[in-house]
């Protein structure tokens, strides 16, 4: 077993719930190291001490660059990569004019695999090493996602999107095929390598009560799977759900009454929640995913980060509704939305959400978004002086967080000096 020491300035997230105080989010080692072997982290700590513990280890020294767990993108649509940054629509128009035609293209397996490859390569270029994606209604689109991730050694979540109404004929299924094809994909992929299956009703407007019930039964039979969907993204969507489900107490109840709620459930957006919905999400242990670039780009509303005090909250790019593949840009947008709500998120909280927050919501806090011993050795190495504008501001910083914040607010893929997946470099720091 060959051990590698990856050296630099280390920020290691602390496990557990969302940290109440900024100082409680990370442990910091000014001259630290991550010891890695066989794709897993052995230890994190002082570089000299770990050097003595592993005298024959290979060394990769990133100098003053910052070492973090690889970023976790907890909500995206890889089939929409080709239509990212399409102009000017509300949610329902967006689906009809952009999303559904683009997803129909993935009826061709070659197109699906190309989209998966492109998305994951863009993720790695931006320091994202784990992600959770909606696929399309085509079973081979889920195969393409998991195959592309396996080829890169990446930990991903994903699932065939289920829709049996309010969608074009070519993208509709029925309750039986949604259940059976999803079950076959679970049998093939769930727990294979680093793949985790996510049962995936797109959202209540495109699933009949019968389909939601079938998917609830499927999750009950496969409780270690994740479940991903959308909740309360826009006000007109909430009104539409009330019309389609007149017997439901609220939007969340359309999922709750069929068992699609609880630990491992990921509700994207969750902006316009009632008090009852907030209480039930918290009581059930469900997670929500804040998608700030999407919420501003499509004009959905301002997420309440106060939810993080009550339930798991992760960050998601929501590409292609979101306007960036970068989790740095996603963090910056989360900060801006927080400012509009009178809640200035500290840099440590932003980085925690993009790492440990994602791992926690995905029920994988021991594997991704962490540097704890035994976890997967997925790392991002950040250059805190990647552009002249960032460098001049960072140089004037009085402490670590003041040095980090300009990269969060102005950084892009140029700030990603290196990326490791399973302990192997997939984006190389030229200085190493």
CATH code of residue 77: 3.20.20.140
Q: What rounded mean pLDDT belongs to the chain? A: 96
Average pLDDT over residues 46-70: 95
Cβ burial of 101 (10 Å; 0-12, 13-18, 19+) is: middle
Average pLDDT over residues 72-92: 89
The reported pLDDT for the residue numbered 44 is 98
Domain boundary among 325, 344, 362: 325
Write the pLDDT tens digit of every residue in 23-38: 899 999 999 999 999 9
Same domain, 105 and 188: yes
Name 8's bridge partners: 32
Q: Is residue 153's pLDDT more than 80?
A: yes
DSSP one-letter string for 319-369: TTTSS-S-HHHHHHHHHHHHHHTT----HHHHHHIIIIIHHHHTT-TTTSS
The reported pLDDT for the residue numbered 190 is 98
Number of folded domains that form the chain: 2
Quick check: is 83 in a domain? Answer: yes
The reported pLDDT for the residue numbered 20 is 87
Whether the full predicted model's pTM is greater than 0.95, yes or no, is: yes
Same domain, 309 and 415: no
Same domain, 291 and 184: yes
Same domain, 26 and 87: no
Domain boundary among 271, 302, 325: 325
Name 313's bridge partners: 288
Residue pair 381/67 in contact by the 8 Å Cβ criterion: yes
The reported pLDDT for the residue numbered 70 is 98
Residue pair 47/37 in contact by the 8 Å Cβ criterion: no
Cα(371)–Cα(374) distance, integer angstroms: 8
Quick check: is 356 in a domain? Answer: no
Q: What are the backbone dihedrals phi and psi of residue 379, each rounded to the nearest 5 degrees, phi first?
A: -135, 150
Quick check: is 340 in a domain? Answer: no
Same domain, 115 and 180: yes
Residue 185: domain span: 71-325
Site of tokens 């105080």: 21
Cα(182)–Cα(176) distance, integer angstroms: 10
Write the pLDDT tens digit of every residue in 198-252: 999 999 999 999 999 999 999 999 999 999 999 999 999 999 999 999 999 999 9
Same domain, 377 and 276: no
The reported pLDDT for the residue numbered 23 is 87
92 confidence band (pLDDT: 50, 70, 90)? confident
Quick check: is 150 in a domain? Answer: yes
Same domain, 181 and 296: yes
Same domain, 124 and 262: yes
Same domain, 408 and 299: no
């Amino acid at each position: 077993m060959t051990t590698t020491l990856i050296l630099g300035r280390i920020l290691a997230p602390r496990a557990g719930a969302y940290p109440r105080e900024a100082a409680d989010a990370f442990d910091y080692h000014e001259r630290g190291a991550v010891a890695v072997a066989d794709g897993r982290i052995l230890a994190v700590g002082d570089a000299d001490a770990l050097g003595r513990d592993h005298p024959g280890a290979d060394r990769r020294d990133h100098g003053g660059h910052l070492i973090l767990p690889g970023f976790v993108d907890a909500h995206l649509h890889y089939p929409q990569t080709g239509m990212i940054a399409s102009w000017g629509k509300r949610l329902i128009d967006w689906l009809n004019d952009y999303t559904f035609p683009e997803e129909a293209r993935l009826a061709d397996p070659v197109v699906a695999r190309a989209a998966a490859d492109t998305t994951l390569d863009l993720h790695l270029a931006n320091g994202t090493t784990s992600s959770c994606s909606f696929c399309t209604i085509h079973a081979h689109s889920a195969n393409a996602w998991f195959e592309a991730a396996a080829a890169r050694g990446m930990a991903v979540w994903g699932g065939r999107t289920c829709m049996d109404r309010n969608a074009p004929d070519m993208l509709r299924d029925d309750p039986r095929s949604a259940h059976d094809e999803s079950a076959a994909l679970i049998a093939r992929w769930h727990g294979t390598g680093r793949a985790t299956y996510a049962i995936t009703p797109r959202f209540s407007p495109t699933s009949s009560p019968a389909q939601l019930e079938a998917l609830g039964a499927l999750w009950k039979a496969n409780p270690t799977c994740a479940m991903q969907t959308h909740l309360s993204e826009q006000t007109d969507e909430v009104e539409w759900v009330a019309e389609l489900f007149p017997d439901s107490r609220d939007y969340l109840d359309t999922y709750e009454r069929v068992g699609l709620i609880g630990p491992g459930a990921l509700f994207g957006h969750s902006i316009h929640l009632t008090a009852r919905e907030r209480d039930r999400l918290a009581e059930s242990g469900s997670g929500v995913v804040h998608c700030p670039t999407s919420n501003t780009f499509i004009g959905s509303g301002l997420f309440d980060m106060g939810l993080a005090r009550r339930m798991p909250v992760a960050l998601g790019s929501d590409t292609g509704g979101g306007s960036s593949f970068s989790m740095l840009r996603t963090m910056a947008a989360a900060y801006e939305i927080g400012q509009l709500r009178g809640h200035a998120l500290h840099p440590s909280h932003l980085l925690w959400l993009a790492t440990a927050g994602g791992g926690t919501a995905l029920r994988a806090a021991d594997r991704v978004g962490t540097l704890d011993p035994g976890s997967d050795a997925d790392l991002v190495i950040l250059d805190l002086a990647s552009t002249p504008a960032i460098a001049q501001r960072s140089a004037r910083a009085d402490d670590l967080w003041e040095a980090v914040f300009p990269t969060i607010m102005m950084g892009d893929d140029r700030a990603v000096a290196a990326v490791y997946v399973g302990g192997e470099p997939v984006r190389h720091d030229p200085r190493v």
